[in-house]
Amino acid sequence: MLITLKRQAALILLLVLVVPIIAACGGGGTTTEAPATEEAPAAEEATPEEEMPAEEATPEEEMPAEEATPEEEMPAEEATEEAPAAEEATPEEEATEEAPAEEASAEVLQLPDVDPATVEGDIITAGSSTVFPLAQRMADIFIEDGYAGNIEISSIGSGGGFERFCVSAETDISNASRAINDDEVAACQENGREPIEFRVGTDALAIVVNQENDFLEDVTADELRLIFSTAETWADVNPDWPAEPIERFIPGTDSGTFDYFDEEIFRAALEESVETGTPIAPFTQETLDALPPADDEGFDDAVDEAARVLMLDAANLSLSEDDNVLVQGVAANPFAIGFFGYAFFQQSEDMLRALSIDGVAPTAETAESNEYPLSRPLFIYSDAGIMTEKPQVASFINYFLTNVNDEVVEVGYFPASTEAINDAKQKWIDAVGE
């Protein structure tokens, strides 16, 4: 609208200047006035809008025209001046982005400070061979930081650890690569102990073969059941594999690693077979027929036994509670296979190779997300009475939970989530009354 008015004002100015010149030259009023008469309506239409004579309208219209440039330039200048404000917003955005990290850090539950140099008294712990290297690492740095007492750590398997903690009640802490079961809890309670579970990390169970094995990279759960049970040669599992005997090296039956593999690979398949009525190899219809009804009191024990028998009756089988024995066994035979905790595999990567399962390799990411089929939590157990009667035990567990996520990766395992560690710390607080 403003541009239209400016054009109309300019036309009026032109007429005001030209008409007197033409009249002074005597060019004939009819000829010169005709265009003026034709253009007049436009001028007259503009004049009512302005309600000003043509001569007066011109100066007023010229003023905005002259001022228009600064006014139009002002926003550009202001925009230029506002640009730094946009740039200044970047630190604010960065602060916003950094805030969640600060909040996440603040969410970690803090336990009372422990000075190992002031802690007195000995500590006895036993259990899982998988948790053993982590427990040993935490004991080592506890001593490095000033603890002058003695920490005894025995690697005897999760089941053996619960035996000493619950039945004979001779240890202060039990290390486990599986959760304590109901029978073990009952045994603890008979000795006046109420086991408290502290989550300390995550492990991936590694299925390993000799570095010279050139036919196996990935296995399925179905193949694993055959490999660790009824198959005598590799060709019995897959005709494309060598017709060489399978040499098996697995943890002993007191090991939480054995229990975990059995539960995830064998028992899960047997339970599915019972539910569907269709046996999954290597289980047969005869296996299913021999089981009591699912609502029978002895059903669970019968399933456990049936699942274990297949592994324990396999040919060329070597069992050991010592993972180093398993490593050496697989490393000595190109047609051998075994399984144990990922930490021991990492220590032997120059001799062994870990297989992927159903296309998923064991890594920190796949273990934490549970994408890798054989990932599992790691625990230590104690009792509130022990932690009260033996402050050194409470102090060591406090130190363990406070520092474990800084050490666990170096040992070869994966950190427990902040939520899991906080839950463990809260259990410590509840146990010691702080």
- In whole angstroms, what is the distance from residue 168 CA to residue 188 CA? 9
pLDDT in tens, 189-213: 999 999 999 999 998 899 999 999 9
pLDDT of 427 > 60? The answer is yes
- 15 pLDDT band, cuts 50/70/90, is low
pLDDT of 361 > 90? The answer is yes
- 12 pLDDT band, cuts 50/70/90, is low
**CB 233, CB 242: distance < 8 Å:** yes
More confident residue, 290 or 30: 290
pLDDT at site 367: 84
pLDDT of 77 > 50? The answer is no
Residue 96: CA count within 13 A, CB half-sphere: 5
More confident residue, 400 or 14: 400
**CB 273, CB 283: distance < 8 Å:** yes
pLDDT at site 412: 78
pLDDT in tens, 293-344: 988 888 988 998 999 999 999 999 999 989 899 999 999 999 999 999 887 7
Query: Which is it for strands 195-210 and 151-155: parallel, antiparallel or unpaired?
Result: unpaired
Which are the contacts of 232, defined by CB distance < 8 A and separation ≥ 6? 245, 246, 315
Average pLDDT of the chain is: 82
More confident residue, 414 or 151: 151
**CB 360, CB 371: distance < 8 Å:** yes
**CB 202, CB 288: distance < 8 Å:** no
- In whole angstroms, what is the distance from residue 265 CA to residue 374 CA? 9
pLDDT of 219 > 70? The answer is yes
pLDDT of 37 > 80? The answer is no
Backbone phi, then psi, for 147, in 5-degree steps? -65, 130
- 11 pLDDT band, cuts 50/70/90, is low
- In whole angstroms, what is the distance from residue 209 CA to residue 196 CA? 37
Mean pLDDT, range 7-20, rounded to an integer: 54
pTM here is 0.60
pLDDT of 226 > 50? The answer is yes
What is the residue type of 402?
A: T
pLDDT in tens, 375-408: 988 999 999 999 999 999 999 999 999 999 999 9
**Angle, CA 75 vertex, CA 71 and CA 79 arms, to 5°:** 160
Q: What percent of the chain has pLDDT over 70?
A: 75
Six-digit token string for 39: 């253009």
**CB 229, CB 240: distance < 8 Å:** no
pLDDT in tens, 227-279: 999 999 999 999 999 999 999 999 999 888 898 899 899 999 999 999 999 99
**CB 344, CB 327: distance < 8 Å:** yes
pLDDT at site 369: 79
More confident residue, 370 or 165: 165
Mean pLDDT, range 159-164, rounded to an integer: 96
pLDDT at site 10: 54
Please state the three-class secondary structure of the chain as a single string. Answer: CHHHHHHHHHHHHHHHHHHHHHHHCCCCHHHHHHHHHHHHHHHHHHHHHHCCCHHHHHHHHHHHHHHHHHHHHHHHHHHHHHHHHHHHHHHHHHHHHHHHHHHHHHCCCCCCCCCHHHCCCCEEEEECCCCHHHHHHHHHHHHHCCCCCCEEEEECCHHHHHHHHHHCCCCCEEEECCCCCHHHHHHHHHCCCCEEEEEEEEEEEEEEEECCCCCCCEECHHHHHHHCCCCCEHHHHCCCCCCCECEEEEECCCCHHHHHHHHHHHHHHHHHHHHHCCCCCCCCHHHHHHCCCCCCCCHHHHHHHHHHHHHHCCCCEEEECCHHHHHHHHHCCCCEEEEEEHHHHHCCCCCEEECEECCECCCHHHHHCCCCCCEEEEEEEEEHHHHHHCHHHHHHHHHHHHHHHHHHHHHCCECCCHHHHHHHHHHHHHHHCC
More confident residue, 6 or 152: 152
Mean pLDDT, range 99-120, rounded to an integer: 76
Range of lowest pLDDT (10-19, 60-69, 248-257, 323-332): 60-69
Measured CA to CA in angstroms, residue 96 lies from 18, 67, 68, 84, 108 at distances of 68, 43, 42, 19, 20
